[in-house]
Amino acid sequence: MTGPLRVVLASRNAGKLAELQRLLPGLDLVGLDPAFEPGPETEATFEGNALAKAREACAHTGLPAVADDSGLAVDALNGMPGVLSARWAGRHGDDVANLQLLLAQTTDVPDDRRGAGFVCAAAYALPDGRAHVVRGELRGVLTRAPRGTNGFGYDPVLEVDGRTAAEMAPEEKDAVSHRGQALRLLAPLLLDALRS
């Protein structure tokens, strides 16, 4: 390789782009064009949504694409909000409303049944049609109130080893997070595919 390879991230989420740039330092990772309107996430699994988003971004840009689909799976809610995490309260990306609804729904759940975990499926799609998807998970316990100011989404309510994801420094979170796990699995596969 003569320089970093340009890869498009199938998202306009600035927090996610910054996180992925830290996790994939060997690539020139760019976000989606603001004028592009991606299709709805209609798959029933994180893996299905990640692959669909990567393929759509690749087709739109002609560039190799990386996408992820992630969310929070709460044991007491039978794995929900799951793939509906970003729109759990009805409007996509309203983190405050999503957190408030989730905490209201789990108010009466006893401490010994508050298991939960972040799940991330990360995928790549190449212009020649090759694609691959992997999965990472971070298990913890659902808190009763948000804690911490780092991160985004449900980070303030998943406690891992005594701290929420929002109480961790970005480097600490990257080392253990569901997205970090998935991207560390995906990165060498993507680089090998790009070189071949």
**Would you name the residues annotated as active-site residues?**
69
- Measured on CA atoms in the order 194, 189, 179, 129, is the torsion positive or negative? positive
Residues facing residue 123 across a β-bridge? 67, 133
Q: Is 95 exposed, middle or buried (0-12, 13-18, 19+ CB in 10 A)?
A: middle
Measured CA to CA in angstroms, residue 80 lies from 47, 72, 105 at distances of 16, 7, 11
H-state helical runs in 76-168: 95-105
Determine the Cα–Cα distance for residues 99 and 146; give it in Å rounded to an integer. 8
The single-letter code of the amino acid at 32 is L
Residue from 24, 27, 23, 49 nearest 38 by CA: 49
Q: What is the DSSP letter of 33?
A: P
